[in-house]
Amino acid sequence: EENTLVALNKKDGSLIWKTKSLGGGKAYASPLLINHNGRDIILAQTAQNLIGVNPEDGNVLWSYNLIQYHTHRQGKGAQANPPIYNNGNVFVTSGYNHPGILFTLSEDGNSVQVKWMNDTIDTHHGGVVLIDGNIYGANWEHNAKGKWASVNWETGKTNWEQEWINK
């Protein structure tokens, strides 16, 4: 209700800054500090939003509502997987039949836009990896089952999906 993200002094725990509140529930993924075109940006998530924050002052640069695509799907999203940043793009996935989404950051890092969405790679928890231009992870069928899958980073097309014992 008061703020979405805070920065604390690592030596004494005192408050350095806090962001404005974006409302909504917590997420489980840790924030990620990236450098985009020479500018540091913190990528963080709430149960509803992916946000970009200026690490110098806590100013929210942008916020993107991840739930707008989930109205016909289960859950609101735990956001348990940290985002992946590569070459100006940010990938997020949360399970519950929500699409994996790749965003493109603007040159100055002040905004994002959707590059693609993919319904195959919807990792619930455990994270995904980016190797040689492809994303690998498990998808979500229910809390104990999912298939292994691979999606092309640039195009968002599914490379393959493989049955497995569990996710």
Strand order in the sheet with 100-105: 84-86, 89-92, 100-105, 112-118
**Mean pLDDT rounded to a whole number for the chain:** 89
Q: Is the per-residue pLDDT at 28 higher than 90?
A: no
pLDDT band at 135 (very low <50, low <70, confident <90, very high): very high
The residue that leads in pLDDT, 67 or 7, is: 7
What confidence score (pLDDT) does residue 80 get? 83
- Give the mean pLDDT of 80-96: 92
Q: Write the pLDDT tens digit of every residue in 42-84.
A: 999 988 899 999 999 999 999 998 877 555 555 566 688 899 9
DSSP state of 67: G
E-strand ranges in the chain read 6-8, 15-18, 32-36, 39-45, 49-53, 60-65, 84-86, 89-92, 100-105, 112-118, 129-131, 134-138, 148-152, 158-162
Closest CA relative to residue 123, chosen from 88, 149, 102, 89? 149
What confidence score (pLDDT) does residue 117 get? 95
- Give the mean pLDDT of 23-34: 88
The residue that leads in pLDDT, 80 or 160, is: 160
CB 40 within 8 A of CB 55: yes
What confidence score (pLDDT) does residue 126 get? 81
What confidence score (pLDDT) does residue 77 get? 63
What confidence score (pLDDT) does residue 87 get? 96
Q: Which residues contact 136 (CB under 8 A, 6 or more apart)?
A: 128, 129, 130, 148, 149, 150
The first and second tokens of residue 105, run together, are 């950051």
